Copies of this chain bind each other. A is one copy, B any other.
Protein backbone atom coordinates (compact mmCIF):
# COMPACT_ATOMS: atom_id res chain seq x y z
CA UNK A 1 0.00 0.00 0.00
CA UNK A 2 1.42 3.40 -0.94
CA UNK A 3 1.74 6.18 1.60
CA UNK A 4 -1.11 8.43 0.44
CA UNK A 5 -3.99 5.93 0.79
CA UNK A 6 -2.52 4.71 4.05
CA UNK A 7 -2.48 8.15 5.58
CA UNK A 8 -6.00 8.68 4.27
CA UNK A 9 -7.14 5.53 6.08
CA UNK A 10 -5.34 6.60 9.25
CA UNK A 11 -7.09 9.94 9.10
CA UNK A 12 -10.46 8.36 8.39
CA UNK A 13 -10.08 5.67 11.08
CA UNK A 14 -8.26 7.13 14.10
CA UNK A 15 -8.52 3.67 15.66
CA UNK A 16 -5.68 2.55 13.36
CA UNK A 17 -3.46 5.05 15.12
CA UNK A 18 -4.43 4.68 18.76
CA UNK A 19 -4.85 0.88 18.72
CA UNK A 20 -1.15 0.52 17.91
CA UNK A 21 -0.23 1.63 21.42
CA UNK A 22 -3.32 0.28 23.19
CA UNK A 23 -2.20 -1.23 26.50
CA UNK A 24 -3.89 -3.01 29.44
CA UNK A 25 -3.95 0.19 31.48
CA UNK A 26 -5.91 1.94 28.76
CA UNK A 27 -8.16 -1.09 28.36
CA UNK A 28 -9.05 -1.09 32.04
CA UNK A 29 -9.73 2.66 31.97
CA UNK A 30 -11.98 2.25 28.95
CA UNK A 31 -13.80 -0.74 30.45
CA UNK A 32 -14.56 1.00 33.73
CA UNK A 33 -15.71 4.11 31.86
CA UNK A 34 -17.76 2.02 29.41
CA UNK A 35 -19.59 0.25 32.22
CA UNK A 36 -20.19 3.48 34.10
CA UNK A 37 -21.61 5.16 31.00
CA UNK A 38 -23.88 2.15 30.40
CA UNK A 39 -25.36 2.63 33.88
CA UNK A 40 -26.35 6.17 32.86
CA UNK A 41 -27.13 5.46 29.23
CA UNK A 42 -29.48 2.50 29.64
CA UNK A 43 -32.11 4.14 31.86
CA UNK A 44 -31.68 7.52 30.13
CA UNK A 45 -32.08 6.09 26.64
CA UNK A 46 -35.34 4.36 27.61
CA UNK A 47 -36.58 7.62 29.12
CA UNK A 48 -35.54 9.67 26.07
CA UNK A 49 -37.28 7.19 23.81
CA UNK A 50 -40.47 7.79 25.80
CA UNK A 51 -39.81 11.54 25.47
CA UNK A 52 -39.67 11.17 21.69
CA UNK A 53 -43.00 9.35 21.88
CA UNK A 54 -41.84 5.77 21.37
CA UNK A 55 -41.56 2.59 23.47
CA UNK A 56 -38.45 2.30 25.67
CA UNK A 57 -36.71 -0.44 23.69
CA UNK A 58 -36.15 1.97 20.79
CA UNK A 59 -33.92 4.02 23.04
CA UNK A 60 -31.77 0.94 23.62
CA UNK A 61 -31.79 0.10 19.90
CA UNK A 62 -30.26 3.56 19.39
CA UNK A 63 -27.57 3.02 22.03
CA UNK A 64 -25.18 0.33 20.83
CA UNK A 65 -24.22 0.82 17.16
CA UNK A 66 -23.29 4.47 17.73
CA UNK A 67 -20.68 3.47 20.30
CA UNK A 68 -19.24 0.73 18.07
CA UNK A 69 -18.95 2.96 15.00
CA UNK A 70 -17.59 5.91 16.94
CA UNK A 71 -14.84 3.69 18.37
CA UNK A 72 -13.53 3.31 14.81
CA UNK A 73 -14.11 6.84 13.52
CA UNK A 74 -14.14 9.12 16.55
CA UNK A 75 -11.31 11.25 17.89
CA UNK A 76 -12.62 12.29 21.30
CA UNK A 77 -12.50 9.53 23.97
CA UNK A 78 -15.18 11.22 26.08
CA UNK A 79 -17.91 11.25 23.44
CA UNK A 80 -20.67 8.67 23.84
CA UNK A 81 -23.17 8.39 21.02
CA UNK A 82 -26.79 7.62 21.84
CA UNK A 83 -30.17 9.30 22.31
CA UNK A 84 -30.03 12.74 23.94
CA UNK A 85 -32.72 14.88 25.54
CA UNK A 86 -32.46 17.59 22.89
CA UNK A 87 -32.49 15.29 19.88
CA UNK A 88 -35.37 13.30 21.35
CA UNK A 89 -37.34 16.50 21.82
CA UNK A 90 -36.67 17.46 18.19
CA UNK A 91 -37.55 13.95 17.03
CA UNK A 92 -40.84 14.28 18.91
CA UNK A 93 -41.45 17.66 17.25
CA UNK A 94 -40.90 16.37 13.71
CA UNK A 95 -42.44 12.90 13.99
CA UNK A 96 -45.44 13.72 16.19
CA UNK A 97 -48.49 11.69 15.19
CA UNK A 98 -46.50 9.23 13.07
CA UNK A 99 -44.58 6.10 14.00
CA UNK A 100 -41.04 4.82 14.63
CA UNK A 101 -40.42 4.47 10.88
CA UNK A 102 -40.28 8.24 10.59
CA UNK A 103 -37.79 8.48 13.45
CA UNK A 104 -35.56 5.83 11.84
CA UNK A 105 -35.72 7.60 8.50
CA UNK A 106 -34.89 10.87 10.28
CA UNK A 107 -31.87 9.14 11.86
CA UNK A 108 -30.71 7.90 8.46
CA UNK A 109 -31.21 11.25 6.71
CA UNK A 110 -29.55 13.10 9.59
CA UNK A 111 -26.50 10.91 9.06
CA UNK A 112 -26.54 11.55 5.32
CA UNK A 113 -26.81 15.32 5.78
CA UNK A 114 -24.01 15.31 8.36
CA UNK A 115 -21.84 13.20 6.07
CA UNK A 116 -22.39 15.67 3.23
CA UNK A 117 -21.61 18.57 5.57
CA UNK A 118 -18.34 16.90 6.49
CA UNK A 119 -17.40 16.19 2.88
CA UNK A 120 -18.25 19.75 1.83
CA UNK A 121 -16.22 21.05 4.80
CA UNK A 122 -19.16 23.20 5.90
CA UNK A 123 -18.71 22.62 9.61
CA UNK A 124 -17.26 26.11 10.04
CA UNK A 125 -20.81 27.49 9.80
CA UNK A 126 -21.23 26.42 13.41
CA UNK A 127 -18.58 28.95 14.49
CA UNK A 128 -21.21 31.60 13.91
CA UNK A 129 -23.32 30.34 16.79
CA UNK A 130 -22.07 32.21 19.84
CA UNK A 131 -21.81 30.92 23.40
CA UNK A 132 -24.70 33.05 24.74
CA UNK A 133 -26.97 31.77 21.97
CA UNK A 134 -26.05 28.14 22.69
CA UNK A 135 -26.69 28.81 26.36
CA UNK A 136 -30.12 30.36 25.81
CA UNK A 137 -31.00 27.58 23.43
CA UNK A 138 -29.91 24.80 25.82
CA UNK A 139 -31.78 26.33 28.75
CA UNK A 140 -34.97 26.73 26.75
CA UNK A 141 -34.75 23.21 25.35
CA UNK A 142 -34.17 21.79 28.83
CA UNK A 143 -37.19 23.62 30.19
CA UNK A 144 -39.28 22.35 27.29
CA UNK A 145 -38.13 18.77 27.86
CA UNK A 146 -38.87 19.06 31.59
CA UNK A 147 -42.31 20.55 30.89
CA UNK A 148 -43.16 17.74 28.50
CA UNK A 149 -42.53 15.27 31.33
CA UNK A 150 -44.75 16.93 33.93
CA UNK A 151 -47.74 14.93 32.70
CA UNK A 152 -45.70 11.75 33.22
CA UNK A 153 -44.83 12.82 36.75
CA UNK A 154 -48.52 13.42 37.59
CA UNK A 155 -49.83 10.35 35.76
CA UNK A 156 -52.09 12.39 33.47
CA UNK A 157 -52.37 11.94 29.71
CA UNK A 158 -52.79 14.49 26.91
CA UNK A 159 -51.14 15.52 23.69
CA UNK A 160 -49.47 18.90 23.43
CA UNK A 161 -47.06 20.65 21.12
CA UNK A 162 -45.52 23.92 22.15
CA UNK A 163 -44.26 25.01 25.56
CA UNK A 164 -47.26 27.24 26.21
CA UNK A 165 -49.69 24.61 24.96
CA UNK A 166 -48.09 22.05 27.32
CA UNK A 167 -48.59 24.22 30.39
CA UNK A 168 -52.12 25.22 29.42
CA UNK A 169 -53.04 21.53 29.14
CA UNK A 170 -51.25 20.63 32.38
CA UNK A 171 -53.46 23.10 34.27
CA UNK A 172 -56.55 21.97 32.37
CA UNK A 173 -55.94 18.31 33.26
CA UNK A 174 -54.66 18.98 36.79
CA UNK A 175 -57.84 17.44 38.27
CA UNK A 176 -56.98 14.09 36.70
CA UNK A 177 -53.73 13.80 38.68
CA UNK A 178 -53.19 10.23 39.86
CA UNK A 179 -52.03 10.16 43.46
CA UNK A 180 -50.07 6.89 43.13
CA UNK A 181 -48.03 8.06 40.13
CA UNK A 182 -47.36 11.43 41.75
CA UNK A 183 -46.18 9.74 44.96
CA UNK A 184 -43.86 7.51 42.93
CA UNK A 185 -42.47 10.52 40.99
CA UNK A 186 -41.84 12.44 44.18
CA UNK A 187 -39.99 9.45 45.66
CA UNK A 188 -37.93 8.95 42.49
CA UNK A 189 -36.99 12.62 42.23
CA UNK A 190 -36.08 12.75 45.91
CA UNK A 191 -33.88 9.65 45.66
CA UNK A 192 -32.23 10.94 42.46
CA UNK A 193 -31.46 14.29 44.03
CA UNK A 194 -30.15 12.79 47.27
CA UNK A 195 -27.96 10.28 45.41
CA UNK A 196 -26.59 13.00 43.23
CA UNK A 197 -25.55 15.09 46.21
CA UNK A 198 -24.07 12.06 47.98
CA UNK A 199 -20.64 12.75 46.53
CA UNK A 200 -20.71 16.28 47.83
CA UNK A 201 -21.03 15.33 51.51
CA UNK A 202 -18.18 17.03 53.39
CA UNK A 203 -16.11 14.82 55.68
CA UNK A 204 -13.44 15.95 58.05
CA UNK A 205 -10.06 16.26 56.43
CA UNK A 206 -8.10 12.96 56.47
CA UNK A 207 -4.84 13.09 58.43
CA UNK A 208 -2.99 9.78 58.47
CA UNK A 209 -2.10 7.86 55.32
CA UNK A 210 -4.65 5.15 56.12
CA UNK A 211 -7.37 7.72 56.61
CA UNK A 212 -6.44 9.29 53.31
CA UNK A 213 -6.74 5.96 51.53
CA UNK A 214 -10.10 5.25 53.16
CA UNK A 215 -11.31 8.76 52.33
CA UNK A 216 -10.29 8.33 48.69
CA UNK A 217 -12.02 4.94 48.55
CA UNK A 218 -15.18 6.36 50.16
CA UNK A 219 -15.15 9.21 47.67
CA UNK A 220 -14.95 6.76 44.77
CA UNK A 221 -17.76 4.58 46.08
CA UNK A 222 -20.03 7.56 46.69
CA UNK A 223 -19.24 8.87 43.23
CA UNK A 224 -20.14 5.51 41.67
CA UNK A 225 -23.43 5.37 43.58
CA UNK A 226 -24.20 8.89 42.40
CA UNK A 227 -23.49 7.92 38.78
CA UNK A 228 -25.65 4.80 38.95
CA UNK A 229 -28.62 6.67 40.44
CA UNK A 230 -30.73 6.48 37.26
CA UNK A 231 -30.35 2.72 37.01
CA UNK A 232 -31.03 2.27 40.73
CA UNK A 233 -34.17 4.39 40.64
CA UNK A 234 -35.62 2.66 37.57
CA UNK A 235 -34.87 -0.73 39.13
CA UNK A 236 -36.41 0.20 42.48
CA UNK A 237 -39.48 1.69 40.86
CA UNK A 238 -39.95 -1.35 38.64
CA UNK A 239 -39.69 -3.74 41.58
CA UNK A 240 -42.18 -1.62 43.51
CA UNK A 241 -44.52 -1.64 40.55
CA UNK A 242 -44.13 -5.42 40.14
CA UNK A 243 -44.93 -6.03 43.82
CA UNK A 244 -47.91 -3.68 43.92
CA UNK A 245 -49.19 -4.90 40.55
CA UNK A 246 -50.49 -8.08 42.20
CA UNK A 247 -52.06 -6.48 45.27
CA UNK A 248 -53.45 -3.17 43.95
CA UNK A 249 -55.60 -2.48 40.93
CA UNK A 250 -53.39 -0.76 38.28
CA UNK A 251 -51.58 1.65 40.62
CA UNK A 252 -49.11 3.10 38.05
CA UNK A 253 -48.99 3.85 34.34
CA UNK A 254 -46.58 1.13 33.23
CA UNK A 255 -44.55 0.69 30.06
CA UNK A 256 -46.56 -2.42 29.12
CA UNK A 257 -45.74 -5.22 26.72
CA UNK A 258 -42.88 -4.53 24.30
CA UNK A 259 -40.99 -6.50 21.66
CA UNK A 260 -38.21 -8.38 23.48
CA UNK A 261 -34.67 -8.99 22.28
CA UNK A 262 -32.46 -7.32 19.70
CA UNK A 263 -33.80 -5.37 16.73
CA UNK A 264 -33.74 -7.11 13.32
CA UNK A 265 -31.18 -5.35 11.12
CA UNK A 266 -33.00 -3.84 8.13
CA UNK A 267 -32.60 -0.92 5.74
CA UNK A 268 -34.21 2.31 6.93
CA UNK A 269 -37.90 2.38 5.95
CA UNK A 270 -38.85 4.40 2.85
CA UNK A 271 -42.52 3.57 3.16
CA UNK A 272 -44.81 3.52 6.15
CA UNK A 273 -48.42 3.23 7.19
CA UNK A 274 -49.93 5.55 9.81
CA UNK A 275 -53.53 4.63 10.53
CA UNK A 276 -55.07 4.10 7.10
CA UNK A 277 -52.66 6.35 5.24
CA UNK A 278 -49.71 4.84 3.38
CA UNK A 279 -46.77 7.25 3.11
CA UNK A 280 -44.34 7.05 0.19
CA UNK A 281 -40.68 8.00 0.65
CA UNK A 282 -41.38 11.48 -0.75
CA UNK A 283 -44.33 11.98 1.60
CA UNK A 284 -42.32 10.78 4.58
CA UNK A 285 -39.50 13.19 3.78
CA UNK A 286 -41.90 16.08 3.22
CA UNK A 287 -43.54 15.23 6.56
CA UNK A 288 -40.13 15.44 8.29
CA UNK A 289 -39.67 18.83 6.59
CA UNK A 290 -37.12 21.23 8.06
CA UNK A 291 -36.28 18.55 10.61
CA UNK A 292 -34.01 17.16 7.90
CA UNK A 293 -31.84 20.25 8.29
CA UNK A 294 -32.46 21.19 11.92
CA UNK A 295 -31.69 17.78 13.50
CA UNK A 296 -28.32 17.29 11.74
CA UNK A 297 -27.25 20.86 12.46
CA UNK A 298 -28.12 20.66 16.17
CA UNK A 299 -26.32 17.32 16.28
CA UNK A 300 -23.17 18.82 14.78
CA UNK A 301 -23.35 21.81 17.10
CA UNK A 302 -23.58 19.62 20.21
CA UNK A 303 -20.91 17.18 19.12
CA UNK A 304 -18.31 19.73 18.07
CA UNK A 305 -18.95 21.60 21.33
CA UNK A 306 -18.25 18.45 23.36
CA UNK A 307 -15.12 17.61 21.40
CA UNK A 308 -13.83 21.16 21.92
CA UNK A 309 -14.66 21.14 25.64
CA UNK A 310 -12.57 18.00 26.22
CA UNK A 311 -9.79 18.78 23.74
CA UNK A 312 -7.46 20.10 26.46
CA UNK A 313 -5.36 22.19 24.14
CA UNK A 314 -5.23 19.71 21.30
CA UNK A 315 -6.67 20.77 17.99
CA UNK A 316 -10.15 19.44 17.27
CA UNK A 317 -10.65 18.00 13.80
CA UNK A 318 -14.24 19.17 13.47
CA UNK A 319 -14.68 17.66 10.01
CA UNK A 320 -13.70 14.18 11.26
CA UNK A 321 -16.10 14.56 14.21
CA UNK A 322 -18.98 15.49 11.92
CA UNK A 323 -18.11 12.61 9.60
CA UNK A 324 -18.04 10.23 12.57
CA UNK A 325 -21.47 11.14 13.93
CA UNK A 326 -22.88 11.11 10.41
CA UNK A 327 -21.77 7.53 9.83
CA UNK A 328 -22.91 6.58 13.35
CA UNK A 329 -26.39 7.80 12.40
CA UNK A 330 -26.42 6.00 9.07
CA UNK A 331 -25.29 2.68 10.53
CA UNK A 332 -27.59 3.01 13.56
CA UNK A 333 -30.59 3.56 11.31
CA UNK A 334 -30.11 -0.01 9.99
CA UNK A 335 -30.80 -1.18 13.55
CA UNK A 336 -34.13 0.65 14.02
CA UNK A 337 -32.55 3.60 15.78
CA UNK A 338 -33.93 7.06 16.40
CA UNK A 339 -31.52 10.00 15.82
CA UNK A 340 -28.36 9.73 17.92
CA UNK A 341 -25.69 12.11 19.08
CA UNK A 342 -23.01 12.73 21.67
CA UNK A 343 -24.38 13.69 25.09
CA UNK A 344 -22.67 16.38 27.15
CA UNK A 345 -23.70 14.80 30.46
CA UNK A 346 -22.54 11.29 29.54
CA UNK A 347 -19.28 12.75 28.25
CA UNK A 348 -18.65 14.32 31.63
CA UNK A 349 -19.33 10.98 33.34
CA UNK A 350 -16.99 9.28 30.90
CA UNK A 351 -14.27 11.85 31.54
CA UNK A 352 -14.60 11.49 35.30
CA UNK A 353 -14.45 7.68 34.98
CA UNK A 354 -10.99 7.91 33.45
CA UNK A 355 -11.77 7.04 29.85
CA UNK A 356 -8.67 6.67 27.65
CA UNK A 357 -9.81 6.05 24.05
CA UNK A 358 -13.02 6.03 22.02
CA UNK A 359 -12.81 2.24 22.49
CA UNK A 360 -14.94 2.64 25.63
CA UNK A 361 -17.89 2.56 23.25
CA UNK A 362 -17.34 -1.22 22.73
CA UNK A 363 -17.99 -1.93 26.39
CA UNK A 364 -20.99 0.34 26.62
CA UNK A 365 -22.50 -1.15 23.45
CA UNK A 366 -21.95 -4.68 24.70
CA UNK A 367 -23.77 -3.93 27.95
CA UNK A 368 -26.69 -2.37 26.04
CA UNK A 369 -26.95 -5.52 23.90
CA UNK A 370 -26.87 -7.69 27.02
CA UNK A 371 -29.68 -5.60 28.49
CA UNK A 372 -31.74 -5.99 25.35
CA UNK A 373 -31.22 -9.76 25.28
CA UNK A 374 -31.78 -10.46 28.96
CA UNK A 375 -33.91 -7.71 30.47
CA UNK A 376 -36.52 -6.61 27.93
CA UNK A 377 -39.22 -8.97 29.29
CA UNK A 378 -39.07 -7.07 32.58
CA UNK A 379 -39.49 -3.65 30.94
CA UNK A 380 -43.25 -4.24 31.19
CA UNK A 381 -43.08 -3.12 34.81
CA UNK A 382 -41.10 0.09 34.37
CA UNK A 383 -43.41 2.88 35.57
CA UNK A 384 -43.72 5.86 33.22
CA UNK A 385 -43.39 8.14 36.25
CA UNK A 386 -39.92 6.73 36.98
CA UNK A 387 -38.73 7.44 33.43
CA UNK A 388 -40.18 10.96 33.60
CA UNK A 389 -38.36 11.52 36.89
CA UNK A 390 -35.07 10.43 35.32
CA UNK A 391 -35.53 12.93 32.48
CA UNK A 392 -36.63 15.85 34.65
CA UNK A 393 -33.75 15.40 37.11
CA UNK A 394 -31.28 15.10 34.24
CA UNK A 395 -32.36 18.13 32.20
CA UNK A 396 -33.14 20.62 34.97
CA UNK A 397 -29.39 20.74 35.65
CA UNK A 398 -28.84 21.86 32.09
CA UNK A 399 -30.75 25.12 32.62
CA UNK A 400 -27.86 27.57 32.84
CA UNK A 401 -28.30 30.45 35.25
CA UNK A 402 -24.68 31.10 36.22
CA UNK A 403 -23.87 32.52 32.79
CA UNK A 404 -26.26 35.43 33.36
CA UNK A 405 -24.15 36.78 36.23
CA UNK A 406 -20.97 36.25 34.18
CA UNK A 407 -22.37 38.08 31.20
CA UNK A 408 -23.56 40.90 33.43
CA UNK A 409 -20.01 41.19 34.68
CA UNK A 410 -17.98 40.98 31.47
CA UNK A 411 -20.22 41.69 28.49
CA UNK A 412 -23.71 42.91 29.29
CA UNK A 413 -24.80 43.39 25.69
CA UNK A 414 -24.43 39.64 25.09
CA UNK A 415 -27.48 39.16 27.29
CA UNK A 416 -29.59 40.25 24.31
CA UNK A 417 -28.89 37.21 22.12
CA UNK A 418 -29.12 34.92 25.15
CA UNK A 419 -32.45 36.19 26.43
CA UNK A 420 -33.79 36.63 22.89
CA UNK A 421 -32.86 33.08 21.95
CA UNK A 422 -34.31 31.74 25.20
CA UNK A 423 -37.73 33.34 24.84
CA UNK A 424 -37.98 32.80 21.09
CA UNK A 425 -37.15 29.13 21.66
CA UNK A 426 -39.85 28.76 24.30
CA UNK A 427 -42.42 30.70 22.30
CA UNK A 428 -41.71 29.67 18.72
CA UNK A 429 -39.90 26.33 19.03
CA UNK A 430 -36.20 25.62 19.53
CA UNK A 431 -35.19 25.69 15.86
CA UNK A 432 -36.74 29.11 15.24
CA UNK A 433 -35.36 30.24 18.58
CA UNK A 434 -31.87 29.26 17.52
CA UNK A 435 -32.26 31.14 14.24
CA UNK A 436 -33.51 34.20 16.17
CA UNK A 437 -30.51 33.96 18.48
CA UNK A 438 -28.10 33.92 15.54
CA UNK A 439 -30.11 36.80 14.08
CA UNK A 440 -29.62 38.85 17.25
CA UNK A 441 -25.89 38.14 17.12
CA UNK A 442 -25.72 39.24 13.50
CA UNK A 443 -27.61 42.43 14.36
CA UNK A 444 -25.13 43.19 17.14
CA UNK A 445 -22.27 42.51 14.72
CA UNK A 446 -23.86 44.90 12.21
CA UNK A 447 -24.30 47.44 14.98
CA UNK A 448 -20.62 47.32 15.90
CA UNK A 449 -19.53 47.23 12.27
CA UNK A 450 -21.60 50.36 11.71
CA UNK A 451 -19.64 52.11 14.46
CA UNK A 452 -16.02 51.56 13.52
CA UNK A 453 -13.79 53.29 16.09
CA UNK A 454 -12.10 56.25 14.41
CA UNK A 455 -9.29 57.89 16.22
CA UNK A 456 -9.54 61.49 14.97
CA UNK A 457 -7.09 64.14 16.14
CA UNK A 458 -6.64 67.74 15.13
CA UNK A 459 -2.89 68.09 14.72
CA UNK A 460 -1.56 71.60 15.44
CA UNK A 461 1.97 70.79 16.51
CA UNK A 462 3.58 73.73 14.72
CA UNK A 463 5.72 71.37 12.67
CA UNK A 464 3.11 70.30 10.13
CA UNK A 465 0.33 72.54 8.86
CA UNK A 466 -2.79 72.12 11.03
CA UNK A 467 -4.68 69.07 9.82
CA UNK A 468 -6.93 66.29 11.00
CA UNK A 469 -5.25 62.89 11.44
CA UNK A 470 -7.52 59.85 11.29
CA UNK A 471 -6.40 56.45 12.48
CA UNK A 472 -9.15 53.99 11.57
CA UNK A 473 -9.17 50.89 13.75
CA UNK A 474 -10.57 47.77 12.24
CA UNK A 475 -12.66 47.05 9.24
CA UNK A 476 -14.41 49.85 7.41
CA UNK A 477 -17.41 48.42 5.57
CA UNK A 478 -20.71 49.44 4.02
CA UNK A 479 -22.35 49.21 7.44
CA UNK A 480 -20.20 52.06 8.74
CA UNK A 481 -19.89 54.07 5.52
CA UNK A 482 -22.58 56.65 6.22
CA UNK A 483 -21.53 57.14 9.82
CA UNK A 484 -17.88 57.69 8.98
CA UNK A 485 -18.75 60.14 6.19
CA UNK A 486 -21.00 62.13 8.52
CA UNK A 487 -18.32 62.18 11.20
CA UNK A 488 -15.75 63.57 8.77
CA UNK A 489 -18.20 66.07 7.26
CA UNK A 490 -18.86 67.37 10.78
CA UNK A 491 -15.20 68.20 11.43
CA UNK A 492 -14.64 71.89 12.14
CA UNK A 493 -12.11 73.49 9.82
CA UNK A 494 -10.82 77.06 10.14
CA UNK A 495 -13.02 79.61 8.37
CA UNK A 496 -11.75 81.68 5.46
CA UNK A 497 -9.72 84.67 6.57
CA UNK A 498 -8.10 87.71 4.98
CA UNK A 499 -4.42 87.64 4.10
CA UNK A 500 -2.32 90.29 2.43
CA UNK A 501 -1.75 89.24 -1.17
CA UNK A 502 1.35 90.01 -3.22
CA UNK A 503 -0.05 93.22 -4.77
CA UNK A 504 -0.44 94.87 -1.36
CA UNK A 505 -4.24 94.51 -1.05
CA UNK A 506 -5.82 91.90 1.14
CA UNK A 507 -7.64 88.97 -0.36
CA UNK A 508 -9.78 86.26 1.17
CA UNK A 509 -8.25 82.82 1.32
CA UNK A 510 -9.93 79.67 2.40
CA UNK A 511 -7.37 77.35 3.99
CA UNK A 512 -7.58 73.91 2.45
CA UNK A 513 -9.24 71.17 4.46
CA UNK A 514 -6.31 68.90 5.20
CA UNK A 515 -7.07 65.30 6.12
CA UNK A 516 -4.50 62.57 6.70
CA UNK A 517 -5.78 59.01 6.91
CA UNK A 518 -3.32 56.52 8.36
CA UNK A 519 -4.10 53.23 6.65
CA UNK A 520 -1.89 50.74 8.55
CA UNK A 521 -4.91 48.92 9.94
CA UNK A 522 -6.88 48.75 6.70
CA UNK A 523 -6.84 45.45 4.87
CA UNK A 524 -9.73 45.83 2.46
CA UNK A 525 -12.48 48.34 1.72
CA UNK A 526 -15.77 47.52 0.09
CA UNK A 527 -17.36 49.36 -2.79
CA UNK A 528 -19.98 51.14 -0.70
CA UNK A 529 -17.34 52.55 1.59
CA UNK A 530 -15.19 53.59 -1.38
CA UNK A 531 -18.21 55.34 -2.88
CA UNK A 532 -18.81 57.29 0.31
CA UNK A 533 -15.15 58.37 0.27
CA UNK A 534 -15.61 59.44 -3.33
CA UNK A 535 -18.67 61.50 -2.37
CA UNK A 536 -16.62 63.10 0.38
CA UNK A 537 -13.83 63.92 -2.04
CA UNK A 538 -16.10 65.50 -4.63
CA UNK A 539 -18.21 67.27 -1.99
CA UNK A 540 -15.10 68.96 -0.58
CA UNK A 541 -13.51 69.79 -3.91
CA UNK A 542 -11.76 72.12 -4.59
CA UNK A 543 -10.72 73.31 -1.12
CA UNK A 544 -9.41 70.11 0.32
CA UNK A 545 -6.58 67.65 0.27
CA UNK A 546 -6.99 64.07 1.44
CA UNK A 547 -3.78 62.16 2.03
CA UNK A 548 -3.75 58.41 2.53
CA UNK A 549 -0.64 57.46 4.43
CA UNK A 550 1.01 54.03 4.58
CA UNK A 551 -1.72 52.20 2.69
CA UNK A 552 -0.76 48.64 1.74
CA UNK A 553 -0.68 48.04 -2.03
CA UNK A 554 -4.06 46.26 -2.26
CA UNK A 555 -5.83 49.05 -0.39
CA UNK A 556 -3.99 51.73 -2.38
CA UNK A 557 -5.16 50.13 -5.60
CA UNK A 558 -8.75 50.12 -4.36
CA UNK A 559 -8.53 53.76 -3.31
CA UNK A 560 -6.88 54.84 -6.56
CA UNK A 561 -9.60 53.08 -8.55
CA UNK A 562 -12.21 55.42 -7.08
CA UNK A 563 -10.55 58.55 -5.72
CA UNK A 564 -8.91 60.62 -8.43
CA UNK A 565 -7.72 63.69 -6.55
CA UNK A 566 -6.29 62.19 -3.38
CA UNK A 567 -2.66 61.71 -2.48
CA UNK A 568 -0.95 58.49 -1.42
CA UNK A 569 2.35 58.47 0.41
CA UNK A 570 4.48 56.92 3.13
CA UNK A 571 4.75 58.66 6.47
CA UNK A 572 8.22 59.84 5.42
CA UNK A 573 6.83 61.87 2.54
CA UNK A 574 3.89 63.16 4.55
CA UNK A 575 5.47 66.48 5.47
CA UNK A 576 6.32 67.29 1.87
CA UNK A 577 2.81 66.57 0.67
CA UNK A 578 1.15 68.45 3.50
CA UNK A 579 3.18 71.59 2.93
CA UNK A 580 3.85 71.75 -0.77
CA UNK A 581 1.14 70.12 -2.83
CA UNK A 582 -1.29 72.70 -4.20
CA UNK A 583 -4.98 72.40 -3.56
CA UNK A 584 -6.71 70.61 -6.43
CA UNK A 585 -8.70 72.83 -8.77
CA UNK A 586 -12.38 72.13 -9.11
CA UNK A 587 -12.99 69.70 -11.92
CA UNK A 588 -15.33 70.98 -14.61
CA UNK A 589 -18.51 69.00 -14.48
CA UNK A 590 -20.95 70.68 -16.87
CA UNK A 591 -24.13 68.70 -17.35
CA UNK A 592 -22.54 65.64 -15.82
CA UNK A 593 -25.25 64.63 -13.41
CA UNK A 594 -27.89 65.26 -16.03
CA UNK A 595 -26.28 63.10 -18.69
CA UNK A 596 -25.77 60.27 -16.30
CA UNK A 597 -29.31 59.57 -15.32
CA UNK A 598 -31.92 61.34 -17.45
Contact = CB atoms under 8 A, between A and B. Distances in A.
Interface in A70-97: none
A448 interface: yes
Contact of A453 (B199, B442, B523): B523
A540 interface: yes
A489 B130 CA distance: 20
Contacts of A594: 223, 348-349, 351-352
A410 B561 contact: yes
A450 interface: yes
B527 A130 contact: yes
Contacts of A272: none
Interface in A547-594: 557-558, 561-562, 591, 593-594
A122 interface: no
Contacts of A445: 445-446, 449, 477, 479
A598 interface: yes
A496 to B, nearest CB: 15
Contact of A593 (B352, B453, B521, B523): B352
Given A315-B489, A411-B530, A130 B478 contact: yes
Given A410-B561, A490-B315, A528 B352 contact: no
Interface range, A side = 35 or more
Instruction: Identify whether the interface residues of A are mostly helix, strand, loop, or mixed.
Output: helix
Interface stretch (A3-11, A281-289, A290-298, A306-314): A306-314
A64 B520 CA distance: 53
A414 B475 contact: no
Contacts of A407: 527
Given A310-B593, A453-B523, 11 more contacts: A127-B478, A130-B481, A131-B527, A200-B595, A312-B539, A348-B597, A348-B598, A352-B594, A414-B526, A444-B526, A473-B473
26 contacts: A124-B450, A127-B450, A200-B595, A223-B594, A227-B598, A308-B535, A310-B593, A313-B536, A345-B597, A348-B593, A348-B594, A352-B593, A397-B598, A406-B527, A406-B561, A410-B530, A410-B557, A411-B524, A411-B527, A441-B478, A445-B445, A445-B446, A473-B473, A474-B475, A474-B521, A521-B521
Closest 3 CB pairs of A and B: A474-B474, A313-B539, A352-B594
